[in-house]
Amino acid sequence: MADRGGHFALPLRFGSDGAAVVNVQDTPAEIAASASVLLMTRVGERRSEPAYGSNGLLFSPVGVGAVDSAALAYWEPRATPDVVTITVNTTY
């Protein structure tokens, strides 16, 4: 299998060999990490790409949380339910 490269695993950490841990491109772990970063980034937070990000946790009238699915569909279309599971923790 050809080397597909990787992205730093988040949170940034180092293995026992001292090298940064990476997620291989297009694996479920890398897609989940990318979706997580997107959902934790507020629109306007990135100066180089001000439209990137999420409007945060969306609430219905009864207070049930939901993710910004429009941001996911636009910025991270690989994050489909068959690849990653996104859960919302509403307890603090």
18: DSSP letter:
S
Q: Centre a 10 Å sphere on the Cβ of residue 78 and count the other Cβ atoms it contains.
A: 14
Task: Flag whether the pTM goes above 0.75.
Answer: no
| Residue 48 pLDDT greater than 90, yes or no | yes
**Residues in Cβ contact with 51 at an 8 Å cutoff, skipping those fewer than 6 apart:** 43
Reported as a pLDDT band with limits 50, 70 and 90, residue 44 is: very high
